[in-house]
Structure 1
Amino acid sequence: MKAGAGATVSRAGLLGAACSLLLLTGCGTTDLTPIPEGFPPGIGAPLPLVDIDAPGRSALQLRAWAEEHADGLGIPVVAMESYGYAAAVMARAKPECGIGWTTVAGIASVESKHGTHRGADVGDDGKVSPPIRGIALDGSPGVALIKDSDGGKFDGDAVYDRAMGPLQFIPETWQRWGVDANGDGVVDPDSIDDAALTAARYLCASGGDLTGPDGWQRALLTYNQSNAYMNKVRDRAAAYSVGRRA
């Protein structure tokens, strides 16, 4: 073994031992801010002013803000823009709701790893490809039975419905709540812009005031009727609220 290599191994061993002994001091990391308890999770890093009526993909105005925070949170920059834009739109459209971008991010993390499930990628235009589709909702053990509601138009299945896109909407819900958030004239469940704003609209309509525990929990349980799911979203959103990876 070369002397240099031996020295490297020795230093690595000492560093590992030091980190083991000093774990609570954050050796090698600053990611030790405690994750807040309780409901609702915090709203996270404040958003800059956004002209939500600007033509085209208005979420692009949040690029500098997203680049400042996304890497530390493990969120794609374009996805981060989408979550922030959704919160900004709802702050004007329904200010009494008070939804934070962290809640939308928490759901997207659980549902699709921010649009990266199974190797999918979030493009610069917000399009997630290849499309993310859930299992057929065919009533098999542990699976809801939801027969086709869209002729396969959105989910590609003309027999049963499947959850779609980075926020995993079923076709029936998408057809009622889906919105074009990026100004391309298409209401697309595979656009993380459209999906994030649709999720925010749906949550605000379902929960009312999301700044309190009752409204926030009601909204999440409408999105997915599972306490375990709600708590997982809360944990991830709360982590994001203090700048930690979830």
Structure 2
Amino acid sequence: MGSGLKRTLGCGCGAVLAVIMVIAVVGWALSFVEGANPIRQLEPVPEDLPPAAGEPVPSIDVHGPGRTSDKLAFWSEPVTADTGIPGQALRAYANAELIARDAWPECNLNWTTLAGIGFVETRHGTYSGKLFGGSKLNSEGVAEPPITGIPLDGTSGTAEVLDTDDGVLDGDAEYDRAVGPMQFIPESWGRHGLDANGDGVADPHQIDDAALSAANLLCEGRDLGTPEGWTSAVQSYNMSMEYVINVRDAANSYALRQPAR
């Protein structure tokens, strides 16, 4: 029985290998057909500071009722297809750019910077830190399951930040933890949190609110249109230069309408 089983498995593997070889040969042949490009070639990512503005965001009434980011669906669909940014997240970043342009015109914030931070922090609300099964944004733009960081207890290279919200936002009544798609700690959320989806509640777990609140933090007394202002703003999120470079590269990738790496 054992030898028979081995022969059976061997025949099966040979057949699979043959199919793989056929597919490979066909793919190789098709690569020579005029106009065929089965693998997208990404452009080199520039090191520009500040990052490029990216696809211009059309004007909408950001003062209207409800979730104004929904009005950008027509704009976001082709950009999402090119960049891989989830549509809700992309619209939230663009909506925040428009609000910032209106509220803090001297800030010169572009959606690509918010997208760069969103990519590095949580892959736009899709990373949960778990080995299997990440989070995703539900129909209301809320990350499910909630994205909550490690306790800021002074270990693992973190600063010690004692609880500031009685565990309301992060479920930890001893230490603060970063929460939501843009990874706000409760203390910072208390200073910068804003409502952007029109429900009257500033929620760090909701992508529109989180993106606008990130804009509020970044724009605090800064001009992101200059290399110095942009770098200072991103360092207000994380003082690491590696972090600054990662955000820069992701933002510049999105400005090219291609995925970040």
Q: Same fold (TM over 0.5)?
A: yes
CA distance in 1, matches of 2:232, 2:36: 37
Tell me what 1:55 maps to. 65
1:235 maps to 249
Q: CA deviation at 1:7?
A: 7.5
Q: One-letter code of the match for 1:175?
A: G
Candidates 120, 124, 127, aligned match of 2:135 = 120
Q: How does 1:14-163 map to 2 (within 5 A)?
A: 15-16=27-28, 27-118=37-128, 119-163=134-178
- CA distance in 1 between counterparts of 2:190 and 2:172 reads 15
Query: What amino acid does structure 2 have at the position aligned with 1:114?
Result: H
Partner Cα distance (2:240, 2:69) in 1: 31
Distance change in 2, residues 1:141/1:47 (3 Å): closer
Does the aligned pair in 1 maintain the 2:47–2:248 contact within 8 Å?
Answer: no
Whole-Å separation in 2 of the counterparts to 1:158 and 1:11: 56
SS in 2 for 1:117: coil
Asked whether the 8 Å contact 1:48–1:65 carries over to 2, the reply is yes
Which residue number in structure 2 is paired with residue 169 of structure 1?
Answer: 184
Over 3 Å counting, the alpha-carbon distance change for 1:26 and 1:107 in structure 2 is: farther
Per-residue deviation at 1:17?
A: 9.1
Question: What do the CA deviations read for 1:208-236 (whole angstroms, capped 9, x no partner)?
Answer: 11111010001011111110001000000
Cα distance change of structure 1 residues 138 and 243 upon mapping to structure 2, 3 Å threshold: same
Deviation at 1:6, TM superposition (A): 5.2
Query: Distance between the aligned counterparts of 1:165 and 1:32, measured in 2?
Result: 30
- Aligned residue pairs total 240
> What's the secondary structure of 1:205's corresponding residue?
coil
Gaps of 5+ in 1: none
Q: Evaluate the alpha carbon distance shift between residue 98 and residue 6 of structure 1 in structure 2; reply closer, same or farther with a 3 A threshold.
A: same
Amino acid at match of 2:24: A
SS of equivalent to 1:12: helix
Normalised by the length of structure 1, the TM-score is 0.90
Q: Give, in angstroms, the shift of residue 18 of structure 1.
A: 8.9
**Over alpha carbons, which structure has the higher Rg?**
2
Please tell me whether the aligned partners of residues 30 and 36 of structure 2 are also in contact (alpha carbons under 8 angstroms): no
In the alignment, structure 1 residue 223 sits paired with structure 2 residue 237 = yes
Q: What corresponds to 1:182 in structure 2?
A: 197
Q: Does 1:10 align with 2:22?
A: yes
Partner of 2:4: none
What TM-score, normalized to structure 2?
0.85
Structure 1 CA distance for aligned equivalents of residues 161 and 21 of structure 2: 57
Flag the 1:189–1:7 CA change in 2: closer, same or farther, 3 A. Answer: closer
CA distance in 2, matches of 1:81, 1:155: 25
Distance in 1, matches of 2:81 and 2:239, equals 31
| SS state at 1:54 partner | coil
> Offset of 1:10 from its aligned partner?
3.3
1:129 deviates by 1.3
1:212 aligns with 2:222: no
Deviation at 1:38, TM superposition (A): 2.4
Displacement after TM superposition at 1:15 (Å): 3.6
Query: Contact 1:217 / 1:230 at 8 angstroms: preserved in 2?
Result: yes
**Distance in 2 (alpha carbons) for counterparts of 1:245 and 1:187:** 29
What secondary structure sits across from 2:108 in the alignment? coil
Give the Cα–Cα distance (whole angstroms) in 2 for the partners of residues 141 and 32 of structure 1: 35
Structure 2: state its 5+ residue gaps: 1-10, 129-133
Q: Distance in 2 between matches of 1:186 and 1:13?
A: 57
